[in-house]
């Protein structure tokens, strides 16, 4: 959700820390989770000369995370909690991987781009999961053969209502 970005960024920065240049990190020099390569690219798009990532300003950090991660995962359009989970995943493991994982969870095509279909599916996922568990429970009852047809119709209607409410 739109109002969650500031808090999500605060949490991500808690994990990302300060300047590091670990020999086993393929990202090379990194500050606040921003690699030198990403920082150089960002500054070029802003018509600024490149400089060491050690000198990155907090305003640049916020802008980079917003534009290259939060906006790419459609954070403003995801439900609270999901927005942060996918954002942190994207920062740590890549936008496409985070998007594809969300898409796999909610059962839509895994194209790595969070668009309207993924957002709609995400909003309905929990309600549908509860309803599917409910149907499985009902089907396990010894009286399913007697009442199953009516219960199935009810569940189908509940699912249609969920889609109408969430879509």
Per-residue tens of pLDDT for the chain, all 167 residues: 678 999 999 999 999 989 999 999 888 999 999 999 999 999 999 999 999 999 999 999 999 999 999 999 999 999 989 999 999 999 999 999 999 999 999 999 999 999 999 999 998 898 899 999 999 999 999 999 999 999 999 999 999 988 888 76
Same domain for 134 and 105: no
Let me know: does 64 contact 57? Beta carbons within 8 Å. Answer: no
- Residue 115, in any domain of the structure: no
pTM of the complete model: 0.84
Rounded to an integer, what distance in angstroms lies between the CA atom of residue 2 and that of residue 21? 33
**Is there a domain that residue 50 lies in?**
yes
CA distance 46 to 28: 22
30 assigned to some structural domain: yes
Residues 16 and 36 occupy one common structural domain: yes
Specify which residues 34 forms β-bridges with. 31
Indicate whether 114 belongs to any domain: no
- The reply to whether 101 and 27 lie within a common domain is yes
Give the pLDDT confidence score for residue 1 in this predicted structure.
61
84 and 146 part of one domain: no
User: For the chain, how many structural domains are there in total?
Assistant: 2
């Amino acid at each position: 959700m739109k109002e969650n970005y500031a808090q999500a960024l605060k949490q991500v920065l808690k994990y990302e820390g300060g300047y590091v240049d670990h020999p086993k990190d393929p990202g090379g020099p990194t500050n606040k989770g921003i690699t030198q390569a990403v920082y150089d690219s960002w500054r070029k798009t802003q018509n600024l000369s490149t400089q060491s990532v050690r000198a990155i300003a907090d305003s640049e950090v916020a802008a980079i995370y917003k534009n290259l991660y939060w906006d790419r995962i459609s954070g403003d359009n995801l439900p609270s909690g999901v927005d942060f989970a996918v954002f942190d995943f994207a920062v740590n493991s890549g936008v496409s991987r985070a998007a594809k994982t969300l898409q796999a969870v909610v059962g839509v095509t895994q194209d790595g781009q969070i668009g309207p279909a993924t957002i709609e599916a995400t909003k309905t996922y929990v309600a549908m999961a509860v309803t599917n568990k409910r149907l499985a429970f009902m089907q396990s009852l010894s009286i399913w053969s007697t009442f199953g047809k009516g219960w199935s119709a009810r569940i189908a209607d509940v699912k249609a209502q969920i889609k109408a409410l969430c879509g």
